[in-house]
Amino acid sequence: MLDRLHRLLLSTVEEIIPFDVPEPSLTRVDKLGQNQLSEKSKAAGFKDIIGKSHQMLTVLDHIGIVAPLDTSVLVLGESGTGKEQIAKSIHYLSPRKNKPLVVVNCASMPATLIESELFGHEKGAFTGAVEKRTGKFELADGGTIFLDEIGEMPAELQVKLLRVLQEQEIERIGGRGPVKINVRIVAATNRNLEKEVEEGRFRLDLYYRLFVFPIIIPPLRERKDDIPVLANHFLARYAQKIGKAVTGISANVMAQLLEYQWPGNVRELEHFIERSILLTDGPVIKDAYLPKLQGKKKALFMPKCRLID
């Protein structure tokens, strides 16, 4: 917050008091316009990330630091915290924003097909390969590939991913040689990768390659200040989408939302608001249809590191 205020005050003071080296007013106006454009670009990149807590402001600052670079990013957070939105913001705030953003869910792809999905194959490379297939990495050439649930990737594929990170090249199944690519990798997981490494399910060298710039998203129960902001955001979105004139949340319901532990995080809150709008007759949500058994959510492993606040 102080960093953003500093930039704003600096721009204002520069307009009022000229610095030691005089420069034409047109140049200063141009520079100010560029700064404003940069802030507008950031606002556009962050538009789908809702929150005002200091934890989320720190996350936004980390995104702003790493987005303009080609550094690999590892997004850590429980299920439902919005890891894909973080990856999208990193892409849209980077010089690669006009190139593809390819999203891959490593947990949803069959182990027998994941190599073909990621790296592609040539016609006739195996039974059933009736035509050439372009893999996800080639589709993302020049842009960003988001590998969600990277902790689910089979060990044999981890070796090939490591080569992509090191050499920026892939090899199609049945191909005659490596294919050069230019791809930025953003990965995400809700697993404890250090534990996965200790138990032999995740390669240590790949872990270090991905763990260049970790961004840790705190669970919703640890940033209660964001609950009213998120709730009202989803209220406006789904009231318009459903076509019901629901405009508010009662104080009693909001108190229950703040008390609830949200094991499903932001995704659970979003679904709760949508369900509440459907069940509400008047303009205000007066009943909270929350599960009575909240369950105990195991805390996400937090790496022993501290990024710049």
In a domain, 300, yes or no: no
Q: Which residues contact 164 (CB under 8 A, 6 or more apart)?
A: 137, 170, 181, 183, 185
Tokens matching residue 197: 């490494």
In a domain, 20, yes or no: no
For residue 7, give the 3-state DSSP assignment: helix
Q: How confident is the model at residue 126 (pLDDT cuts 50, 70, 90)?
A: confident
Cα–Cα distance measured from residue 133 to residue 111, given in angstroms and rounded to the nearest whole number: 17
Across residues 164-168, what is the average pLDDT?
91
Residues 114 and 205 in one domain: yes
What is the structure's pLDDT at 20?
Answer: 42
Nearest in space to 194 (alpha carbons), one of 83, 62, 300 = 300
Residues 175 and 96 in one domain: yes
What is the structure's pLDDT at 112?
Answer: 72
Residues 165 and 258 in one domain: no
What is the structure's pLDDT at 158?
Answer: 92
Pick from 14-23, 68-77, 103-112, 177-186: least confident? 14-23
What φ, ψ does residue 201 adopt, rounded to 5°?
-95, -10
Please say if the pLDDT value at position 189 is more than 50. Answer: yes
What is the structure's pLDDT at 42?
Answer: 64
Q: At 175, which CATH number?
A: 3.40.50.300
In tens, the pLDDT along 231-281 reads 999 999 999 999 999 999 999 999 999 999 999 999 999 999 999 999 999
Pick from 64-68, 86-90, 283-287, 295-299: least confident? 295-299
Residues 233 and 160 in one domain: no
Residues 40 and 110 in one domain: no
Tokens matching residue 104: 């891959």
Q: What is the mean pLDDT of the chain?
A: 84
In a domain, 309, yes or no: no
Higher pLDDT residue, 301 or 60?
A: 60
Across residues 178-188, what is the average pLDDT?
94
Residues 126 and 201 in one domain: yes
Higher pLDDT residue, 290 or 235?
A: 235
What is the structure's pLDDT at 34?
Answer: 39
In a domain, 21, yes or no: no
E strand intervals along 46-92: 73-76
Q: How confident is the model at residue 306 (pLDDT cuts 50, 70, 90)?
A: very low
Q: Which residues contact 84 (CB under 8 A, 6 or more apart)?
A: 103, 146, 148, 188
Cα–Cα distance measured from residue 272 to residue 253, given in angstroms and rounded to the nearest whole number: 12
- Cβ–Cβ under 8 Å, residues 247 and 283: yes
Cα–Cα distance measured from residue 110 to residue 117, given in angstroms and rounded to the nearest whole number: 10
In a domain, 237, yes or no: yes
Across residues 130-158, what is the average pLDDT?
91
Total domains present in the chain: 3
Q: Which residues contact 249 (CB under 8 A, 6 or more apart)?
A: 231, 232, 235, 257, 284, 285
In tens, the pLDDT along 11-47 reads 554 544 444 434 333 333 333 333 443 566 666 678 7
Residues 232 and 213 in one domain: no
In a domain, 299, yes or no: no
What is the structure's pLDDT at 36?
Answer: 41
In a domain, 228, yes or no: yes
Residues 194 and 227 in one domain: no
In a domain, 296, yes or no: no
Residues 104 and 199 in one domain: yes
Residues 62 and 210 in one domain: yes
Residues 245 and 125 in one domain: no
Residues 33 and 71 in one domain: no
For residue 131, give the 3-state DSSP assignment: coil
Q: Which domain holds residue 238?
A: 221-285
What φ, ψ does residue 289 adopt, rounded to 5°?
-90, 75
What is the structure's pLDDT at 38?
Answer: 59
What is the structure's pLDDT at 177?
Answer: 85
Please say if the pLDDT value at position 196 is more than 80. Answer: yes
Q: At 239, which CATH number?
A: 1.10.8.60
